[in-house]
Structure 1
Amino acid sequence: MLKHLVFCFGFITVFNSVSAQNPLINSQYTADPSARVFGDRVYIYPSHDIIATKEKGRLGWFAMEDYHVFSSANLIDWTDHGVIVTQNNVSWVKPNSYSMWAPDCIERNGKYYFYFPTTPKDTIAYGKGFTIGVAVSNRPEGPFIPESTPIKNVKGIDPNVFIDKDGQAYLYWSGGNIYGAKLKENMLELESEVKTLGDLPTKGLKEGPYMFERNGLYYLTYPHVENKIERLEYAIGKHPLGPFKVMGVIMDESATGCWTNHHSIIEFKKQWYLFYHHNDYSPNFDKARSIRADSLTFNADGTIKKVIPTLRGIGVIDAKKTIQLDRYSQISSKGVSIDFIDTADRFKGWKTVFTENNAWLQYNTVAFGNKSLHNVKLKAKSTKEVLIQIRIGKPDGLMIAEVKVPQSESFIEVNAPLLKRQTGIQNLFIVMKSNGHTELDWLTFE
């Protein structure tokens, strides 16, 4: 009963909403996103990076003590439903191990099964290293109640669960190789022998399997260290356990050197999306990561087009919301840069710095709705009085507002009327029409 009350308490008391582009979550570190569509919402079950200390975890390494779940109906506004599983409230987990690594969740017959890897305290019963446990709930956001033991005969990390169209469930995981096995209908036990999934690259680390099906093809996707850091790759087969044929790369290695990547792929409202992670809020330490998402598309033959990571991310943002311009779609070749607002607290986000006349920033897919909006508001500061123009479609496109930003040593909010009211979904261009040093935090329309 006490265990049940602990999980209910966490579920009831933590219910925060955040609005974000990439990274999706701006209130904590998140990694290894397992995205799922349940009903009319997308739920993300990530791991939760924290910074290790002498008292918590291993210095300079991954440290994870619990799991949150986040959900959204529009891919822009994400609700944090709070902690659903924590290390010291699972009876078989080694206390204070800080090893609650990449999880997954799936629904079957009205119940939600949350799979998580971690280290057990009883190495005689379960062996050394990682094994995989399950927590069960009647709702996708919890509360989740952990099973009293991990899954038998499973050693490894990165669980992924797939239910085929015939109702057969499969569990995938990694640990030197990528493995798969059938699950019983109770979703808590293996039904078949464990199979090592062959026909994958033999050189370099492979982990984080994620299986999905499309048009009768089974896509086994996984991070792989081909060179020095992970990139996302995929193989295709005609059965959930293979054989598979390696097809290529979904996403290249991080340009800034984040060593890991871990992902999931879903279809939501007739569009496919890739969820993955990067170290946006921790550029100098890649053990503190943040989840992202970008659109994913297929070629006519079923192969996947390579995804180029973006800052803008996914979702259509309401013009009345706070638009974080630093999550741009494109910027001019000079005169624009991005920096943290406060390097002592990077979760405060970024700012856009304009330094040259005619420098511009593009921000796509802003929904204006009807013609009721008549004003624009900027949060900005500048070393001198400057003009900021807001245009539609291109840097010299239709100007809908011109904002005079006065000299200010700190950020202030500046208003200007819309010269031309807009409807529908538009791509914005923010153009500097003066020389100087001007910093923009965000804009919104009223």
Structure 2
Amino acid sequence: MNRVLKIGLRSSTIIAAYILLAGCAGQQDNAERLPGSNPIITDAFTADPAPLVVGDTVYLYTTHDIATGDVLYAMNDWLVYSSKDLRHWQAHGPAMREADFSWAEANNSAWAAQAVEKDGKFYFYAPVKHKEPDRGFAIGVGVSDSPTGPFVDARGSALVTNSMTTVGRDYDQDIDPTVFIDDDGTPWLMWGHFTCFLVKLKPNMTELDGEIRTIELPDFTEGPWLFKREGRYYLAYATIDEDNPGNERIAYAMAPAITGPWEYKGLITGEARNSFTIHPGIIEFKDQWYFFYHDAQLTIGDLKPATGRRAVAVEYMDFNPDGTIRPITQTDAGISGEPGS
């Protein structure tokens, strides 16, 4: 049975209004774009950023939308980029395709994924629709000797299936995996859509180690992202306010342990421009923290900005003395200037 982990009461000081989106901040035409301006990836429609630091390089894994016309989303592979300064990005093509999972339906269901490194190998956790009879989304895991792939199915079967998570929604609740390896080497997998799931992984990274738990978070929607700073655990996630519904925003909670208790702390940033969804990716790189997300402001050729044609962006992220996160304003300038400029 799933064990419910209680979260602290909602903070009485929730950000009252959506954070203003600085659409006019640092606006530049394409010919004058400074390195580090948003969006940072302009050669394809990308979303759901998952950055990974490996030495002096950041690898960025994204979903890849090829939808045209009135189609909202059409994603059948995951792209990977690399950078040594977060301002200049090299494309490496697909890291993996949904068809690489033989048990998947392979019908444009390559949604938000994340890669991690352990013991010199790279593991890629990705949601795709499962073939019958275990219908619905499932989570697979790929493995590679290189952060750019190609990744291959490490199990030959799904790591998490719809039949394993009977709490909450049916069919599409097993999406948006995030993987966190603690200081003692223990790996954890978190995921979910309107229900947040957590489970320990075995050291081989390809098997579950214990029961699947559920974590209660205010207005949890999807897109969890785990990280740790100065002994505190952080959980960022996409949220829709049930009392004031609209597009997704990014909220966060903090805890003394990965299993909780989690205390809601408020919003990191508000709605993404022109996009119903928003997805966090958070890293520390060369002593600076960064917040990755997506919006839908990019034009490529004849394809104009549309809700489903998203593009990855990045902003500086800073903390208050008590460890809470300073609210982030989304900008066109991105990280083209110095922090605090």
Q: Give the TM-score band, short-chain normalised.
A: 0.7 to 0.9
Identify which of 240, 251, 274 aligns with 1:233: 251
Helix, strand or coil at the partner of 1:48:
strand
| Corresponding position: 1:34 with 2:87 | no
> Deviation per CA, 1:121-141, whole angstroms, max 9, x where unpaired?
2x22xx221100111011111
In structure 1, the partner of 2:157 is 149
In structure 2, the partner of 1:50 is 66
Contact 1:277 1:290 in 2 (8 A): yes
State the AA in 2 paired with 1:90.
Answer: F
Contact 2:281 2:293 in 1 (8 A): yes
| Corresponding position: 1:129 with 2:145 | no
State the AA in 2 paired with 1:149.
Answer: S
In structure 1, the partner of 2:276 is 259
| Corresponding position: 1:103 with 2:113 | yes
> Deviation per CA, 1:43-69, whole angstroms, max 9, x where unpaired?
11111111156xxxxx53221011111
- CA radius of gyration, larger in: 1
In structure 1, the partner of 2:183 is 165
Shift of 1:257: 4.1
In structure 1, the partner of 2:94 is 83
Separation (CA, whole Å) in 2 of partners of 1:89 and 1:128: 18
Percent identity reads 40
Which structure: greater strand fraction? 1
In structure 2, the partner of 1:274 is 291
Separation (CA, whole Å) in 2 of partners of 1:113 and 1:81: 17
> Deviation per CA, 1:358-383, whole angstroms, max 9, x where unpaired?
xxxxxx45xxxxxxxxxxxxxxxxxx
Separation (CA, whole Å) in 1 of partners of 2:321 and 2:254: 15
Shift of 1:92: 1.1
In structure 2, the partner of 1:72 is 83
State the AA in 1 paired with 2:228.
Answer: E
Q: Choose between structure 1 and 2 for higher RCO, CA contacts under 8 A separated by at least 6 residues.
A: 2
| Corresponding position: 1:224 with 2:224 | no
- Structure 2: 5+ residue runs without aligned partners? 1-33, 166-172
Separation (CA, whole Å) in 2 of partners of 1:243 and 1:156: 23
Identify which of 125, 142, 146 aligns with 1:139: 146
Contact 2:96 2:149 in 1 (8 A): no
TM-score (norm 1): 0.62
State the AA in 1 paired with 2:157.
Answer: T
Separation (CA, whole Å) in 1 of partners of 2:68 and 2:206: 32
Contact 1:197 1:243 in 2 (8 A): no
| Corresponding position: 1:285 with 2:296 | no
Distance 1:60 1:143, change over 3 A: closer
> Deviation per CA, 1:129-180, whole angstroms, max 9, x where unpaired?
1100111011111121123111043660000000111111100001221111
State the AA in 2 paired with 1:142.
Answer: G
Separation (CA, whole Å) in 2 of partners of 1:68 and 1:110: 21
Separation (CA, whole Å) in 2 of partners of 1:229 and 1:269: 33
| Corresponding position: 1:63 with 2:74 | yes
Contact 2:38 2:314 in 1 (8 A): yes
In structure 1, the partner of 2:170 is none
- Structure 1: 5+ residue runs without aligned partners? 1-17, 54-58, 316-363, 366-426, 428-446
Separation (CA, whole Å) in 1 of partners of 2:313 and 2:59: 13
In structure 2, the partner of 1:212 is 227
Shift of 1:19: 5.9
Q: How many residues align?
A: 289
Question: Over aligned residue pairs, what C-alpha RMSD do you find?
Answer: 2.0
Separation (CA, whole Å) in 2 of partners of 1:213 and 1:101: 25
Contact 1:229 1:257 in 2 (8 A): no
TM-score (norm 2): 0.81
In structure 2, the partner of 1:24 is 40
The runs of at least 4 consecutive aligned structure 1 residues that moved more than 3 Å come to: 152-155
| Corresponding position: 1:300 with 2:321 | yes
> Deviation per CA, 1:188-230, whole angstroms, max 9, x where unpaired?
11101111112x11x4x51100010111111011010112111
> Deviation per CA, 1:414-443, whole angstroms, max 9, x where unpaired?
xxxxxxxxxxxxx9xxxxxxxxxxxxxxxx
Helix, strand or coil at the partner of 1:63:
coil
Separation (CA, whole Å) in 2 of partners of 1:26 and 1:257: 16
